[in-house]
Structure 1
């Protein structure tokens, strides 16, 4: 059973790595084609445009290589048996954030080719989201500001924590059903 799971993860990772490799090439080609067909005035790209492209391409390349090495499966060279499936590239957390950064980078590359250099402002989503996560997970709790509602009504919070079965038993007990033993203090 565990080997089946490892094989499934290895297969998903191989497909994801193929997509990553294409994703590092295809947005550049699409951006150049969009510039050529729809925005000929932007050819050749300005120095600022090239600087933005290079400045965002290197982190994307680094993240792509990181995900690729993390998710690459290892096989026995002689028998081809799966030794390690690699880390699951569909797991939440840092892996998911790496993919998000790659997707935003690719969208900015294509969007700048189609709509203009102002589209790179979309890239600010990444540091804004990081600041939001830092604030909500670290800074706000240290300042004593929690987003949890104040527990003014204990009966309301008790109702929310009861399961359906517990709620049924409570209602039966209120009606005096003999199947329910009521423990009174």
Structure 2
């Protein structure tokens, strides 16, 4: 029998998977419908048709990946065996959702407003470059020097106990022993 947190994750994953499937359906149908109604000339075989088709493949593979890792496994009796990976976690799954949302926005936006909306897709590699730079820059620029013995410790909020010990130390109370930093 699964615990309450596993059941909660399974329920959240099932909702997220239904939303992915609904989003895929709505974005695809809306994009095709808007192209038929507003931009019939964009349906010919061209670069924009290939771009739109390739983004349908991207959304298909990402949605299949998220569905595969997030689908809860149940026994024949309906008992929860595994809730699947948490689709609300930060990291890779969050980025997959971001790419899905940007792709859906570009598909529908390009069908309704024009091909200039595809420039929004450049946010994805720009963000990846930003994250990569922040990951690598401490190693390229050198690490900050370790704090020396002469450095003043940072002043920050202290607990009541720390404040009491500091006051005892200032009065010279023998119960408080001070240690020197090395």
TM range (shorter): 0.7 to 0.9
SS at match of 2:100: helix
Question: Shift of the alpha carbon at 1:127?
Answer: 0.8
Aligned length: 176
Runs of 4+ in 1 over 4 A off after TM superposition: 33-37, 148-153
SS at match of 1:143: helix
Unaligned runs of 5+ in 1: none
Unaligned runs of 5+ in 2: none
Write the deviation string for residues 133-185 of structure 1: whole angstroms up to 9, x where unpaired.
Answer: 111102x1331345x69969932x4313x53335522563377497x944356
- TM-score relative to the length of structure 2: 0.81
Please provide the CA RMSD for this pair: 2.9
In the alignment, what sits opposite 1:6?
Answer: 6
1:121 aligns with 2:114: no
Write the deviation string for residues 45-77 of structure 1: whole angstroms up to 9, x where unpaired.
Answer: 252322121122212211110000000111112
CA contact (8 A) 2:31 2:111 kept: yes
SS at match of 1:154: coil
CA distance in 1, matches of 2:142, 2:119: 31
Residue 168 to residue 75, structure 1, CA distance change in 2 (3 Å) = same
Question: Shift of the alpha carbon at 1:85?
Answer: 0.9
- TM-score relative to the length of structure 1: 0.80
Q: Pairwise mapping of residues 3-152 of structure 1 onto structure 2 (< 5 A)?
A: 3-35=3-35, 40=38, 42-46=39-43, 47-77=46-76, 79-138=77-136, 140-145=137-142
